[in-house]
Structure formats: C-alpha cells, structure tokens
Structure 1
Amino acid sequence: MKAKLSGLFACLAAFILPAAMPLLPGQAAGNNVTPAAAPKESDEIIQLGVFDVREDRDVGYISTNAESATRMDVAIADIPQNIVVFNQEFMQDIMAESVADVVLYDPTVTAFNEGDSFSMRGMGGAAAPGAGANYLNGFEQAGGFGSQTLVNTQRVEVLKGPNAVLYGQGAFGGTISRTSKKPQGKYATWMRSSLTDSGYFRYQLDTQAPILKKKLAFRFNGMWGDGDGWRGYPRRQWVLSPALLWNITKRDTLIAEYTRTYERDVGSNLEFALHDNNPLEITLDDVRYPVDVRRWMCELDDRRIYNNNIVYAEYRHEFTKKIYFRALYNSENKKTDNFETLADAQYFAIVDGQPYVSRYYRQWYQKYDNYRARAELAMNDVKTGFLNHKVIIGWGWEDLVTDSLRLQTLYNRPTYNGATQTWAWTDPNFRETTALRIGAANILSHVPGHVPYTSGGLQPFVVTGSNADGYDIIAQQDPSIGSNLPRVNINERISTQSTSYYFSDLMSLLKNRMFIQFGLRYVDIKRIENRRGLVYNRFSTSENDRRVTDRRYDVFYEHPLTHSLGWVYHLTENKAWTLYFNNNASFQPNYRTEYPEGPRLKSMTGTQYEGGVKYVYRNRVHVTLSYFDILQENVPQNGLIFYIDENGVPQERWGTTTIAGLHSKGFELTFNANPTRNWQVLGGYAYTHCINMEPPLDSNTRKPLEKRHYRTPLHAVSILNTYKFNSGPVKGLEFTFGVQWRDTMLSQYIPYTTEIRAEPPYKVPSFLNVNLGAAYRFKVGKVRMTARINVTNATDEFNALASYNVRVQWAAPRSTTIALDTSF
C-alpha cells in the first residue's frame, strides 16, 4: 500500500507542480528569449565553436541548447524531436556515479539489469534489441559487462525515438549521448570524497589548467574507489582520463582524450526463484518462509574484472565562419574476465522440505576491440535563397571485433517426475561426487564460501585432436587459460566492418519561424562469425557427448538506407510556443538464423511518427508535450516454436524466430523549470502502451498470452526538486527530493519445457525509488566547499530489474552516502 500511495503521489506531482508555479509577468512577444544571454567571453577561456554547447549559458538544470540532435550547437526549441538534457550541475547535485543514476530521471527510460541496459519508449533492453546504446562524443560504446564511467562526462542528452541517420543501427527507442569534459584553458579544480554506509570510499578529481594562453590547455579527470559494495563483497574501481586541447592556428584545433577504467566487483546476476509466482516468500508444509531476496547465491571467490581503454581524437578546421571540417577517431579496447558461481533459478526444486536452486560455475573471457572514425563537413547558417541551412555531410567507418570464450560446469539440475508433477534432486549436495557439477544452494540457509570448483572435485575438460586450436582466440593471449577448466561453452570471434555515408540538413525560413529537417544514411555492413568449441550436449557427462563441433564460418552482408524528416513551427515570434513533427527510421540486423538451420532472420526495422508542442519562457520554464507511435518489425524471439510437420502432426522445438513486431505509442510530458530563484524542478510523466503484435503462446495451453509487451510500464513518473537557500541565516543550505516511479509490468515469459519448471507470467510490482539529499555550501578562504548527504531508495523498496516468470533480479536496497566537495 505504501508503494502504491507513493507512486500515486509522484504521478500527481508531475501535473501539480508546473501548474502551481507562480504566474510570471511579461509574456508578451519580445520578452521571451530561448537561450540565456551569453556572458562576456573571458580572455582566459578557449571557445570551441559551432560544435560544442556552452554550459555557461545553462541556468540551473535548464539547458537551452543541445548538440546530439544535429551534431552542432542548436537551440532545443528549433529541434523537431523531444530531447532531455542533464547538465553538470544536475549530475553533481544528485551525486551521480552511473548512467542509470541520471537517465532514470527521464520517465521514458526503464532499467533492465545492471550495466547500462535500458528500454526507452517500450523498446530495447533485454526485452528486445535496439533501445539505443550509450554514445560518447557521437560514438557508440560497446555493450556488455561493466558500466560506462561518468567521471569525464560533462552532460548527458537523451534523444527520443529512432536516430539512425546520425547514430547508425539500433536506437529504436532513443539514444543516450554523453559529451566528455573538454579543456577550457582556465585554472579550475573540483574534488569530491565520499563514503557509503556499506564501507565504500570514493575520491574524484577534475582539474584543468592552461599550458599556453589561448593555445594549449590540459584537463585531467580521475577517480579511485575501494571498499565493500552493497552486497557485502569487495569492490574496487579507478579511472584515469587526461585530455589535451591545442589551437594549432586560429583555424585549426586538435582535441585528444584518453580514458582508462578498471573495475572489480561481483556480478549482477542476483537472481531468485519465483515459487508459486511469489519471489518474496516460500510456502513449505503450509508454513510461509520470508526469503531474503538480496542474499547472494555466489561464493567468496567470485569476481568480475573489467578493463577499458578509450581513445578519442578530433581535428577541426574552420574554412570560414560558416563552413567547418572535422575528423574524429575513437577506439575502445575492453576486456571483461568473470569468475563466478551463478544461481539459475529456472532450475528450482523443494527437496526434503527445503528449497534448492541449481548453480553452475563459469569463467567467461570477453574482448572488444572497436575502432571507429568519421569525417564531417558542417555548414552553419549558410543561405541559399530564402533558406538558411545547418548541414552535416559525413562519412563513417567501423571495425568491431568481439572475442568470447566461456567455460563452465554443467548444471546441477533437478529431474521432473511427470506422474507426480514434482521436481527433485537425487542428492542436491553432490558437489564432490559427480564430475563437472557443483552443488545446489539452499535459498534459506546458503552461506557464501569458496568456489567449489577450486576444491578439486571437478574434472578438467581439455580439447584435443583436430580441435586443439579451439582455445586459440583468447588462450594465446593468456597462456594460463585452458589447462584446468571444466568445459567449453562458447568460443567465438565476431568481426563487423561497416562504411556509412550520411547527410542531414536543418533548414530555416520565415525569419527562423519555421524549420525543416531532412536526412539520409546509407550503410554497407559485413559481419564475419567464426565459432568453435561448442559442445553438442552441454548437460551430459559422457565423454562421447562432450565432443566439440567443427569450425563454423559465416559471412553476412547488409545494405540499409534510413531517413529522417522533421518540421518545426514557432507560433510566436519570441519562440514561446512551438509545434513540431518528425518521422524517423532505424534498423538493426538480425545475425541469427532460424533454429536449427533455417533461413537467416530478416533485419529489424523501426519507424516512428512523433508530434508535439514546446513551451519556453526565458530561462524559467521549459515544457514539452509529445505523442509518439513506433513500429519495430521482425523482432527476434527465443522460445518454443509450434509447427505442423510433413505428416500433419503437431510438433514443438526450442529455437529462434521473429514475431511480427512491437507497436509502441503514447505521450510524454517533460518539464524543466526555475519557479523561483531558489527552487529548481525537473521531471515528467510518460504513458507508454507497447504491445506484441504477435504475442507468445503459453506452452501449456498454447493460447496467446497478454499482448502487452513484457517489462514495459504503462505509466511512469520522474521528478527531482532542489531548493537552495541563497540568502538569510541558512544561506548555503540546500535540499533535494527525487522520485522515480514505474507502473507494474509483466515479466518476460520463458516457455515451460521438461527442463524448465512451469510458472505463469509474473506481474512485477511497481518500481519506486525515492532519493533524498541535503547539502551545505560554505567557504574556507577562497576555497568553496560543499558537505553532502544522499539517501537512495530511501523507502527501501524491493525494485525488480530483470524479471522472468521463473526468476527475478533485484536492485540495490537503501544506501546512504556522505561526501565533501571542494573547488577552487
């Protein structure tokens, strides 16, 4: 009841707060200015020009301009899309450490798992590929384990809907674009030291200085963290990010950045079994036992190690004050090493009156070597007749290589008795008696210890004979791999090369009262899959069944063409009221074939229609109300495929196919306001109705399940209020109050088989995250200091992230952080 009332309050607040703002005088034409007046330029600060948004024009959380929609500095009111900007002041006030901390204040974004997995407007995340990945300075960063750092991030922009023309494949629901901190050629230092109630200490530094006045500038961002995470396991992180800006001549600029990230933590697979569709308690012999769903089912030796190296370079040349050229380069070399004992809650049974969950131990090595480059010609405010153009003409190139080697034990699975319709283990604790398996864990009493595999009870699985090179993709780089591992599960190299050509033009006319946007993108994609070391029967202990497949080599080509169209009309000369419309398209190849050896799946395509109205009152109120309609076709789906064989007999098989698609439509209200000099408020409300056009079938009844797409809330609210006392006896004191609420959702359905127990789709409770903060700003001499305290998930809700009908993964409990900021 508490969560429902809190969610209702948050929903009402999204509508009441804008209406409750004091009426502001002077709304006549000519009194409304979209950007804040630019301050006088300092001789000390290096001005970066047409491509970069100047944050000194921001007022509180209100950012009047954005760069992600056009790759140039453009007023948000002139952009024919719904775009939300989170600037540096916002991120510092909420003490953001991850992308999720920031973007969940956009009500169209919902978290899936940890590690920057999101859905937007009902699309993407684990639910269906293509929500839109994280981009850094316009380049997509590799997904997978490990979150992208915010240490060197200046601002985060969330661009709604498909954006393939500027951002390439995917991005059906939207794009999250991060912009790095650039050297400004001034002396400035900011530091933050923080400590959580779990015992995790974090120190962050941002310092910059000119080397040669107006010519050469340096900036360094760094972070170091050590201690215990909220799960009670050791956690260690550090980030090093130096940047250099060189004005070679008055017309030539070079920017170079490097980011090195290291993280050691335990994994995100905090999964618990659903029993009779209730994850919070188990009924045994008519007695209800509450379950500590935040208990970790892994062992003390478990760890995930994440290393990432990012290089970014940009060269700019100014031909004239209106025509520019820039060449950009980005490389990302990431390696993740996972050593972990994971629970698999789809294999769950009650034995001798006790609940057990199956587990397996794995070592998973992944390497990403991604290289990207772009060359762009930009024309800013170039006139042709009565039209004024902002044009980007570009060429892009990518070479992405992913190596993956996963070795793991077999599942310790229960067996199903069809006569009694019950599950059981012969002996759930036979960790030392059967090769290649580890024991199941008792959900009520498991105490983490050492990884059972290290005890010597498991027999090694070594590839021999003609397939002895099965490890060579990664093992040659790490000679310690391969001598004592349980078995091969995945061994593959995937290489993707693409070349793209794109064009985008934002045209204005009628004295900048009307804007028309048009863009095209053509991509030539080649993907090579080289797979080896796949076990035929992964559940068998028989030597005959544990053989390795021959090498599989597959080449895939794709040549998509996507477009974007947009229209903006300012109803008033001062741009207070604006109408806009867009029609954007996107794509994403389906690289899989229909199981077992059917035709290749058709590529996913997405098309959006969006329209809305924007209201701007100076630097006081920015509101956007939008309606969208997105169709994503050829969405892949794993599960039971029902078909009629050549003899007319109904059959079923587990495999991959595509459904007709997802259809998502709804409306969004987002607002960013400064109701008074002291009060800042940002947030919004989203209504999202996303359905499967071809819903999955219940594997028992073979009847269609609910058409609503799983893990998509119908209603969502996000809001952050910050009140800062700028005068009086409490000058320097400030408070923040934030709410992130998502309506109840339907879990992803895993079809019942003789290997997976039957559970109906799970109705996921509403997601409620209440964040509270307080700070006090003061000076010691010329040094500015801020003492902060922040409480996340203040009501200690059980918030579900990944959710299936047989298992659920939970978000962090209540956490308190204290910090001290210093700047000079």
Structure 2
Amino acid sequence: MTRSHALFILMLSTALPQMALAQAPEAQSGDADILVTGRAEKLYRATDTEIGRGSSDPLDIPQSVQVITSELIRDQGARDITDLYRNVAGISASQYATVTYRGFRQDGNFYDGMRGDPFQGFAVPSLFSIERVEFLKGPVGMLYGASAPGGMINYVTKKPQDEFAASLRGIVGNYDRYGGSGEITGPIDKDGVLTGRAGAFYEHVGTVQRNSDTSSLVLDGGLGVKIGPDTKMTVQLTRYEQDLAGRLRGIPIDEDGNFLADRTWNHLEPSDYMKLNGTVAQMRLDHKASDALSFNLSSRWFRYKEDQDYHEPRPVSDTDGDGVPDTVTREFRRQHRNIEGVTIAANMIAHVQTGPLRHTIAAGGDWYWQQSLFDGVSTRAGVPPLSLTNPVYGLVPVGGYDLSNGSVERSDTRSHRYGLYAQDQIDWGRFTLVGGVRQDWFDDADPVTNTAKTSGKRTSWRTGGIYKPMQRVSLYASYSQSFEPQDPSRQSASVGGPFAPVASRQVEIGAKGELLGGKLQPTIALYRIVRRGIVQVDPDLAPINGVDQMSPIGEVTSKGIELTLAADITRDWVLTANYAYNDARITDSAPGAAIDNSVGGRFPNAPDHQAGFWTRYQIPAIDAAFAFGGQYVSGQLARSGAHMKGFTVFDGSVTKGLGFADLMIRIENIFDKTYATSAFDARRGAFVGRARTVFAELRVNL
C-alpha cells in the first residue's frame, strides 16, 4: 500500500466521526443495530431488480432470478464473488472468476447492466463497491447480446444516497489477515442537490499454501447531481489494486482425485508475483419525462493492467522409480496484459394502456468496444523442478534465467459489439405475456497474429408467460436465446469458414411465490438448454490443400432443476437454502472429434448436485445474532478425466452489539476439511479449498 493510499484512508477515517456529529439528528434511526426485526423478505430478499431491462419485481420476470442482497453479503463477511457461490443454485466455482453456470463454463460479468469487467485476467471481483449481485439464469441474448448460455452475473454498484450514512470496519484473522475499510455517503449541500459517496478498502490475507498471499486495495467515489426535479446524473470512479503471489495453479491429483502433495504445497517461488490494477469510470443519466415515460443513458470505461512473473507447472514425473509421481517440472513466464474497453447504453421504458391491457415497453441499444494486448515470454531452460514431498525454493534466482531465447507470444485482440432491442410486457388480470427481439452486430480482429477480421450479426428472441393464481405467486414458462461469436482462429476460409455464431436456446418452466404473508418464499425452475453450432473438424469433408475442413456440427444439451427458499421460521430466525441438479453432456459431435473443454461426453468442473444453506438467529435480549451455513458439491471431473471427490463444508458466525459498534467473529470450514473446489488438467492440478479460517470484524456505523 503506497503512502498516498494510506493517507487517503487516514483522512477518511478522521472525517467520518466529524461528519457523523454534524448529521447527528439524522443518525438516530437505529441503523447501527445488528438486529433486523423485518422478515426474510426485507433481510435477504430483493423485491426489485433492473436485470430484465427496467425496474421489475422478480415475480414478474419469466426466468429464474436470484439476487444476493447487501445484508447477506454483510452477514457472511463476503469479500469477493467466490464467497457467494454457495448461495446461488446452479453456479459453482471453475477457475479464478470463471464459473460453471447451469453446466456451461463462462466468464465475463456485467456492471449495472453494462459490459466492462475489470477482472478479466486472473483476479476475482471485489465486493466492496457492490450493493448487490444479480443472477439471471439461462440465455439472455435478447436483453444483453452476445453471452454464454448459462446466464449472466450483474454487479449493482453502490451509488451516492440521499440520506447520510457512514461506517468504519476493521478486520483481523489467521493466515496473516488484517485490513480495514471506511464508507460515507449523503447530501453535500443543504438542499440535497448534490450527493456524494467515498469509500476505501484494504486487506491482506494469506492462504494455507506456501508463497501465497493477496493484498487488495479499492478506492471508490461517486457524485450525484439533481439537474432537475425529474433528472439526475450520477458519476463514479473506482480504482482497484491487487498484489498476488503469482498465478496460482492447483496441486497435482491422481485419477481418484487425491492430492499428490500436502495442501500447503505450491509451485510458486517466493519471488513470484502478479500485480493487477484497474480503473473504472462510469456515468448514468436518468430522466423521467412523465409517469408513463422514462429514459436512461449510461456509459462505462475501464482499463485493466496485469504484470506477472511466475513459475508454471509442467507434467509430473516419477524420479525414484516407485511408481508414484514425486516431482513437478516447471517453466518460467513473464507476461503483461493491458485491457481497455468502453460501453455506451441507452434505454427507454414506457407504460401504455390499451383497453384492458397494460403494456410496459422497453427499448434501447448498447455499443461496446474492447482492446486486449498481451505480451509474454517463457522458458524452461535452467528452471529447477520442484519436489512434491520436500519442496526447496529459491535454488535459482529469476535473474539467472535466460529469456533471450525464450518462447515469445504477442496478441492484440479487438472486439466490437453493438445491438438494438425492443420488448413488450403485457399485463391482463392474472396473466402476463412478455415478448422481445434484439438484433446484434459484432466483429473481431487481431492484427498482431494476422487473424483476419471476422464479423457477423444475429437475431435473438425471448418470449414468456406468467399466470398468478394468487397475487404473490407466479407460474411461468419461457423460451429464450443467446449466441457467442466463433473463435476468430476458426473463421478462416481455409478451414471452411466463416461460420455462424454458436447458438443456444432454452425452455424453462417454474414457479415463484411469497406465501404466508411473505414469510415463506420458495422458487422452483426446470430448464433445458441446447447449444448448437460448435465448430469441429468434419471427417466427412476431404482436406483442401492439406488443411482439415471444419463444420458447425457440435451440440451440447444441459437440463436440470433448481430450488431456492427464503423463510422466516420465527420473527428472529431466518433461513435461506438452495439445491440444484444439472446434467450437461455432448449430444452431437463429429466421430472422433472433441468439443473444447470436454472430457468424453461430459464437462469438467460441472457437478451433478450442489446445495447450500444459511440460517441466522438473533436474540434481542443480549443484542446478539448467531449464524450457521453449509455447502455441498458432488463429485466432478477434472480436465484430465480424474474423478474429483465431492465435499461438504460448514461455516458460522456470532455477531454481538457493543453499543458503539458490532463485533462479528466468523469461522469458515469449521472442521478444516481438505478438499478441491475445481480442477485444471493433469499438470496444473486442482484448486485447494479454503482451510479453516477465523477472523473478527469490528463494525462502527455512524
């Protein structure tokens, strides 16, 4: 952490109590109390989301929607998105920020409904500047354009608020964990024309593995301006910095999923590093022309840089001849990434009455451009191997490697996406019909690798219906589509290209409800997704000029069921739970050909079963709350074909009001279980699950 960063946090922590005193009359609302006497509907359940293009009740969206609220993020002490997967049916960890979503591997996230992810490399999105995380499941091509078939993750950022609020937090725990944060928001002038927000977060934490720790810094600010009674502009600026030990891979495993080394083993040297920094600037203009018509215009710019020196594991070997691998060969890599992108989006929402029909019409478009530069060099010459049982680090300094004859890799990928959409939601008594269409255009190029520019377009549809037998119960069915442009490397005319995008379609039926006055909130969704047009080498086509010809003949089908529940067991006892079953497999393929990221007819890091729960009980008499949660993930495949064992882990927390502050003590992986969350291939092994961690967090709300 630089001196300027430390000075910023010090100034913020000094200003918070002074501003709290100035706002003392407004600060007596009781927001500092840890006890929440409202039901789960208010604690962990969102009643409004913009993920369907326009503010909507999740009960009025004919697709499965799940929202992780700020209250749940706070109660679980979550720091990044991986801390939240256990709460979401149908999502499991894959690699870094990549997830398996309804059986499909995907990365790339949306922020306030826009593209522009500053965590595209090997970092994981921080939650400090995030108000809530929204999950819209299944294809979303009609709403957001090119996207993976499993669904989308949308991060809703914290904005300046009209009411004063401020907080300070400090944290300390095992594995050398320490840090703190401060936030303040509220009106700047007495008339409330200007509102502001400022926040700073810093945390350092290690892991159970040697030579592995992370330092994260987030600086976040925003300004709201009421241009008129019905017009408001909000601008935001966020800075991210992460200092990691290096690109952390997994530990090698055998065919039965057993680690070949102790979980403290690590392929990285103490000198390895990965430094990440990103800057995001965002603007949104909202205008309400009338009760029936509103507009918003937004833009998002980001730049993400990554510099790393690290040792990459290569195949394991048996050096003592006992038939058990005991050594990992390695290569050294020095890499630089520079990613920049910008989004512009506009949306219109209109409410129109035609006889007994109430129309909610959403229309708009978005434009996105991104450039990704990569420059890397690697070498195996002079890089010492590493024992799996008795690793010795620092045998050869990095400065001793000869990179002049190393393998060089460079690229300059430029992507362009833009589209227009229109959707009509028609309400008629107990029935709701939704229909929409979107037209997208895209192009990709890489002048450094001489990849020819490829372009195309795609039309996506979405339709659905909702029937409400009761006011707060929705029975729904929907059909939706999405698409993904083909990899530019497979679009060459020499292999039979260009090819149409990979297309996905989903049929989903389900039910959502709020029963017993909102005390019981169950959901169920059944879905079937078919992903077609995956390019493969076609054995029925003769090679041309010695080059194998390709065809879009690959197909994958994913089907499953998801259940979630939020419940008020009593006034002081709330529960959330989820379960998902998924079966994703190849249903059409060229004989003898493989589909990317597949193992036989199945896919790695795609468990059949997963479940999670979180329950919280508060005791007002002692001003305390007790929470307990768990996660189950069934066995899954590694890319090597190894069968990874399933796992079940538990965590808990105790929160105590101290009058001037709240103190939370949290334990993760209570029984210190050794397990793998997901895996790479044979040489890069499996990711180690988090060991038992204990931390205390002191929260002061002003």
Q: What TM-score comes out, normalization by structure 1 length?
A: 0.75
Partner of 1:609: 507
**CA-CA distance at 1:158 after TM superposition:** 1.0
Whether 2:696 is the aligned partner of 1:818: answer: yes
Equivalent residue in structure 2 for 1:735, among 619, 626, 632: 626
Q: Any residues of structure 2 matched to 1:436-515 within 5 Å, and which?
A: 436-449=381-394, 452-455=397-400, 457-458=401-402, 460-461=404-405, 486-488=406-408, 490-510=409-429, 513-515=430-432
Q: Any residues of structure 2 matched to 1:1-12 within 5 Å, and which?
A: none
C-alpha separation in 2, matches of 1:582 and 1:625: 14
Partner of 1:107: 89
Structure 2 unaligned blocks of 5 or more: 1-24, 28-37
Gap change, CA 1:406 and 1:220, over 3 Å in 2: same
C-alpha separation in 2, matches of 1:809 and 1:355: 18
Counterpart of 2:259, as a letter, is: L
Equivalent residue in structure 2 for 1:384, among 342, 346, 354: 354
Counterpart of 1:632, as a letter, is: R
Equivalent residue in structure 2 for 1:348, among 304, 317, 322: 317
2:557 is paired with a residue whose SS is: strand
Contact 1:279 1:293 in 2 (8 A): no
Partner of 1:256: 235
Contact 2:39 2:568 in 1 (8 A): no
Deviations 1:700-749 (A, max 9, x none): 9xxx97534332211111111111112x3xx2211111111111112224
Equivalent residue in structure 2 for 1:770, among 628, 632, 650: 650
Contact 1:271 1:343 in 2 (8 A): no
Contact 2:203 2:215 in 1 (8 A): yes
C-alpha separation in 1, matches of 2:258 and 2:394: 24
Partner of 1:527: 444
Contact 1:297 1:342 in 2 (8 A): yes
Contact 2:207 2:690 in 1 (8 A): no
1:458 is paired with a residue whose SS is: coil
Q: Any residues of structure 2 matched to 1:568-579 within 5 Å, and which?
A: 568-572=466-470, 574-575=471-472, 577-579=473-475
Q: How many residues align?
A: 652
Contact 1:366 1:404 in 2 (8 A): yes
**CA-CA distance at 1:209 after TM superposition:** 2.4
Whether 2:699 is the aligned partner of 1:721: answer: no
C-alpha separation in 2, matches of 1:681 and 1:495: 46
Deviations 1:656-702 (A, max 9, x none): 986622101111111111121111111211111111114798999xx
Contact 2:163 2:187 in 1 (8 A): yes
1:328 is paired with a residue whose SS is: strand
1:100 is paired with a residue whose SS is: helix
> Comparing 100-109 with 253-262, which one deviates more in the overlay?
100-109
1:710 is paired with a residue whose SS is: coil
**CA-CA distance at 1:578 after TM superposition:** 2.0
- Identity value in percent: 19
RMSD over aligned Cα atoms: 2.9
Partner of 1:208: 185
**CA-CA distance at 1:632 after TM superposition:** 1.0
Contact 2:439 2:459 in 1 (8 A): yes
Q: What TM-score comes out, normalization by structure 2 length?
A: 0.87
Deviations 1:371-390 (A, max 9, x none): 110112111x3212322122
Whether 2:480 is the aligned partner of 1:584: answer: yes
**CA-CA distance at 1:99 after TM superposition:** 1.0
Equivalent residue in structure 2 for 1:118, among 70, 84, 99: 99
Equivalent residue in structure 2 for 1:678, among 572, 584, 590: 572
**CA-CA distance at 1:230 after TM superposition:** 4.2
Contact 2:116 2:342 in 1 (8 A): no
**CA-CA distance at 1:503 after TM superposition:** 1.1
C-alpha separation in 2, matches of 1:646 and 1:76: 52
C-alpha separation in 1, matches of 2:149 and 2:512: 23
Counterpart of 1:822, as a letter, is: V
Gap change, CA 1:294 and 1:141, over 3 Å in 2: farther
Partner of 1:789: 665
> Comparing 441-450 with 188-197, which one deviates more in the overlay?
441-450
C-alpha separation in 2, matches of 1:555 and 1:56: 55
Contact 1:240 1:259 in 2 (8 A): yes
C-alpha separation in 2, matches of 1:268 and 1:789: 30
Whether 2:450 is the aligned partner of 1:556: answer: no
Equivalent residue in structure 2 for 1:366, among 337, 350, 367: 337
**CA-CA distance at 1:270 after TM superposition:** 2.7
> Comparing 221-230 with 808-817, which one deviates more in the overlay?
221-230
1:408 is paired with a residue whose SS is: strand
Equivalent residue in structure 1 for 2:522, among 610, 623, 632: 623
Q: Any residues of structure 2 matched to 1:2-151 within 5 Å, and which?
A: 59-69=42-52, 71-114=53-96, 116-124=97-105, 131=106, 133-142=108-117, 143-151=120-128
Partner of 2:559: 665
C-alpha separation in 2, matches of 1:252 and 1:181: 19
Counterpart of 2:496, as a letter, is: P
**CA-CA distance at 1:804 after TM superposition:** 3.2
**CA-CA distance at 1:821 after TM superposition:** 0.9
Partner of 1:808: 686
**CA-CA distance at 1:805 after TM superposition:** 5.0
Contact 1:296 1:448 in 2 (8 A): no
Contact 2:451 2:489 in 1 (8 A): no
C-alpha separation in 2, matches of 1:599 and 1:786: 64
Deviations 1:207-234 (A, max 9, x none): 1121123311001122012354443544
Whether 2:93 is the aligned partner of 1:197: answer: no
C-alpha separation in 2, matches of 1:719 and 1:595: 45
Equivalent residue in structure 1 for 2:635, among 729, 739, 744: 744
Contact 2:599 2:639 in 1 (8 A): no
**CA-CA distance at 1:275 after TM superposition:** 4.0
C-alpha separation in 2, matches of 1:451 and 1:255: 52
Partner of 2:31: none
C-alpha separation in 1, matches of 2:523 and 2:535: 33
Contact 1:272 1:279 in 2 (8 A): no
C-alpha separation in 1, matches of 2:649 and 2:534: 31
C-alpha separation in 2, matches of 1:68 and 1:340: 39
**CA-CA distance at 1:803 after TM superposition:** 4.0
Gap change, CA 1:645 and 1:120, over 3 Å in 2: closer
1:531 is paired with a residue whose SS is: coil
C-alpha separation in 2, matches of 1:64 and 1:646: 57
Gap change, CA 1:594 and 1:330, over 3 Å in 2: closer
Deviations 1:172-196 (A, max 9, x none): 1011111111111222112221112
Counterpart of 1:531, as a letter, is: V
C-alpha separation in 1, matches of 2:227 and 2:396: 56
Contact 1:349 1:357 in 2 (8 A): no
C-alpha separation in 2, matches of 1:523 and 1:595: 18
Deviations 1:616-652 (A, max 9, x none): 1233111111110100123467xxx7959979xxx99
